[in-house]
A and B are shown apart, each in its own frame.
Chain A
């Protein structure tokens, strides 16, 4: 009986490894949206993630407030109560002002873009820590489709790589699997922007003769047909010119602050990678 049990244990392992390997083989190097079954899983888990994020923010706020009050212990109860009230009002006011400023920036940015946009809230980040993606609270029901560009007031954030009816996954430009066709704004030199492990990016395929200096602004070229031309992407931080290399090593600091993403804008434009005109060409 025992050997039979052992064989069964190995079969279980073999079957799951086989399934996982098949999945990797079919999906490595490809970007595909969630399947209907996966969409159901996301539709169930994403509200929970939203709830957890909101709760965590509330707890964080309460915790910070607690530390703020520790120094006031020796003051009398009336003053403490008053300070408590004022501080809460102040926090609320600051939060409103900061939200207002963010939304005003977004609105100004929205007005500068010709295509219609949908604003979405960030409800989660990549759970692995190895990849760079976010989950947003808008999906196909709000008009979102695969490969739509995502931006914020500072510049390009990423593009949609999976969508369900109410949620979508955004691959950030700082992910190593991301690639954005870009231009150096001043000299119009071209390159492909890819993510680096340290929340920075590298502009690939910039020839050694190219005119690129530290401080140059990088914008989208529009050549990849995903991002509209001229969106700010980042600023050149470092340019290395190694004699035996074909290309310059250009490090770019993204315009957007990816550690503080809260609201983003999705540009509603047709998925260029699935349009019939592209297929016939």
Chain B
């Protein structure tokens, strides 16, 4: 379910979202789902998901292979570390931690792009859009958590019922 949802979102970004949204505004569903998987499925499931989705983005984009895989694995680590300070089971914890990790991810991406001689002009508007991305991703995180939890409970119930 998580993989499917994230895959559809990535494809949607390549088809529609990036055409209508401002260039640097990026609601990052991959980080939200990684946080959810970290809370529900444990470290391995979340890490594999983060790496796999990063690789998929790398395949579809013109960037360097491994760039987004590295970014999302680093995001996963931040979630893992941040979960010791913020409770991922609470709405506030989800909002703050996911928002912070998305902002961190954007900053690391700029750093990595700069390291690979990619021209990025640091400007106030760039950091504003990073902040907006982090804020709105944090804002939708509790909603996505609720939807995924609901689907997971229903699916588990159905499986139990079938057995």
List A residues at the B interface (Cβ < 8 Å): 8-9, 12-13, 16-17, 19-24, 26-29, 34, 38, 41-42, 45, 48-49, 52-53, 56, 123-133, 135, 161, 169, 171-172, 175-177, 196-197, 259
Q: Which residues of A contact B50 (CB under 8 A)?
A: 16
Closest CB-CB distance, B45 to chain A, in whole Å? 10
Q: What's the Cα separation between A24 and B61 when bound, in Å?
A: 14
Q: What's the Cα separation between A261 and B77 when bound, in Å?
A: 38
Of chain A, the residue at the smallest CB distance from B12 is A52
Cβ 8 A contact of B47, one of A16, A22, A126, A128: A16
Of chain B, the residue at the smallest CB distance from A196 is B119
A-B contacts at CB below 8 angstroms, number: 136
* A24 and B65 form a contact (CB under 8 A): yes
A52-B12, A125-B14 as given contacts; A12 in contact with B43, CB under 8 Å: yes
* B43 and A23 form a contact (CB under 8 A): no
Cβ 8 A contact of B73, one of A20, A53, A130: A20
Q: What's the Cα separation between A81 and B76 when bound, in Å?
A: 54
Check: B125 CB closer than 8 A to any chain A CB. no
Q: Report the interface size for chain B: residues with CB under 8 A from the other chain.
A: 47
Tell me which residues from 111 to 127 in chain B have a Cβ below 8 Å from any Cβ of chain A: 113, 116, 118-121
Closest CB-CB distance, B132 to chain A, in whole Å? 14
- Further contacts, 10 of them, CB under 8 A, given A13-B47, A24-B70, A129-B18: A12-B44, A13-B73, A13-B77, A20-B51, A22-B66, A23-B65, A45-B60, A127-B61, A133-B62, A171-B62
Of chain B, the residue at the smallest CB distance from A17 is B73
Cβ 8 A contact of A27, one of B10, B12, B64, B118: B64
A16-B47, A56-B16, A127-B14 as given contacts; A27 in contact with B59, CB under 8 Å: no
* B16 and A126 form a contact (CB under 8 A): no
Q: What's the Cα separation between A132 and B64 when bound, in Å?
A: 12
Q: Which residues of B contact A128 (CB under 8 A)?
A: 57, 61, 63, 68
Cβ 8 A contact of B56, one of A26, A45, A123, A177: A45
